[in-house]
């Protein structure tokens, strides 16, 4: 379940606040914003699209945080190996 794709809102329809044009790598699709009534997106926001409806706003900040966490993976490992060498870590 759940092919959902990130898309960038290009414009909110003038005659229907629930309808917006999104861009997914150059492909434009009209989608329904009806499920984001409590947190209306604006042009420039990224949303997650599933069956023609925006399900959620995508947080660029959280995405950056995640990338940073992932980049740090290798670095943390180095520190962990040192600690393990002291036999302090419980392996199970």
64: helix, strand or coil: helix
| Buried b / exposed e along 17-28 (16+ C-beta atoms within 10 A) | ebebbbeeeeee
Q: Give the angle subtended at the CA of 15 by the CAs of 12 and 17, to the nearest 5°.
A: 45
What is the closest distance, in whole angstroms, from the C-beta atom of residue 86 to other proteins in the complex? Answer: 17
Cβ-based nearer residue to other proteins, 2 or 14: 2
In whole angstroms, how large is the CA radius of gyration of the chain? 20
* Count of CB atoms situated within 10 Å of the CB of 56: 16
With CB under 8 A as the contact rule, the residue among 2, 44, 82, 87 that binds other proteins is 2
Q: How far is the CB of 69 from other proteins (least distance, A)?
A: 7
* Tokens standing for residue 40: 């209306």
Q: Find the binding residues for other proteins in span 57-76 (CB under 8 A).
A: 58-60, 62-67, 69-71, 73-74
14, 38, 85, 86: which one binds other proteins (CB under 8 A): 38
Residues within the interface to other proteins (CB under 8 A)? 1-6, 24-30, 32, 34-38, 46, 48-53, 55-56, 58-60, 62-67, 69-71, 73-74, 77, 80, 90-92
């Amino acid at each position: 379940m759940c092919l959902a794709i990130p898309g960038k809102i290009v414009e909110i329809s003038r005659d229907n606040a629930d309808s917006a044009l999104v861009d997914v790598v150059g492909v434009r699709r009209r989608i329904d914003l009806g499920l984001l009534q409590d947190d209306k997106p604006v042009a420039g926001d990224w949303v997650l699209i599933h069956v023609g409806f925006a399900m959620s706003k995508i947080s660029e900040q959280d995405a950056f945080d995640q990338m940073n966490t992932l980049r740090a993976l290798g670095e943390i490992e180095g520190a962990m190996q040192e600690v393990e060498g002291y036999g302090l870590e419980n392996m199970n």
